[in-house]
Structure 1
Amino acid sequence: MDPEALQTRVAGTLKRIRTDRGWTLEELARRSGVSRAMLSQIEARKTNPTIAVLWKISTAFGMQFSALLGEQPGQDVTVLRRPELQVLSSADGAFVSRPLFPRNAERKAELYELRLKPGKRSDGPPHPPGTRENLVVVKGRLNVWVGGRKWEVGEGDAIDFAADLPHAYENPGKVAFLGYEVILYR
Structure 2
Amino acid sequence: MDQRIAKRLKALRAEREWSLDELARRSMVSRATLSRLENAEVSPTAQVLGKLCSTYGLTMSRLMHMVEDEFAPLIRRDAQAVWIDPSVGFKRRSVSPPAQTLAGEMLECELDPGAS
Give secondary structure in 2 for the equivalent of 1:49: coil
Alignment of 1:134-145 (within 5 A): none
Higher strand share: 1
Equivalent AA in structure 2 for residue 21 of structure 1: R
Using the alignment, how far apart are the partners of 1:74 and 1:64 within structure 2? 14
Query: Could you report, residue by residue, the CA deviation over 1:95-142 in whole angstroms, capped at 9, with x for unpaired residues?
Result: xxxxxxxxxxxxxxxxxxxxxxxxxxxxxxxxxxxxxxxxxxxxxxxx
Who is 1:46 aligned against? 41
**What is the CA RMSD across the aligned residues, in angstroms?**
1.9
Using the alignment, how far apart are the partners of 1:74 and 1:62 within structure 2? 19
Using the alignment, how far apart are the partners of 1:67 and 1:30 within structure 2? 23
Who is 1:63 aligned against? 58
Who is 2:100 aligned against? 75
Who is 1:158 aligned against? none
- Pair 47,71 (structure 1): closer, same or farther in 2 beyond 3 Å: closer
Q: Report the CA distance between 1:65 and its aligned residue.
A: 1.3
Q: TM-score, normalised by structure 2?
A: 0.56
Who is 1:24 aligned against? 19
Using the alignment, how far apart are the partners of 1:71 and 1:44 within structure 2? 15
Give secondary structure in 1 for the equivalent of 2:29: coil
Greater C-alpha radius of gyration: 1
Q: Report the CA distance between 1:64 and its aligned residue.
A: 1.3
Higher helix share: 2
Query: Could you report, residue by residue, the CA deviation over 1:135-174 in whole angstroms, capped at 9, with x for unpaired residues?
Result: xxxxxxxxxxxxxxxxxxxxxxxxxxxxxxxxxxxxxxxx
Structure 2 portions without partners, runs of 5+ = 69-97, 103-116
Moved over 6 A (4+): none
Q: TM-score, normalised by structure 1?
A: 0.36
Give secondary structure in 1 for the equivalent of 2:61: helix
Q: Report the CA distance between 1:23 and its aligned residue.
A: 0.7
Note if contact 2:27-2:52 (Cα within 8 Å) is conserved in structure 1. Answer: yes
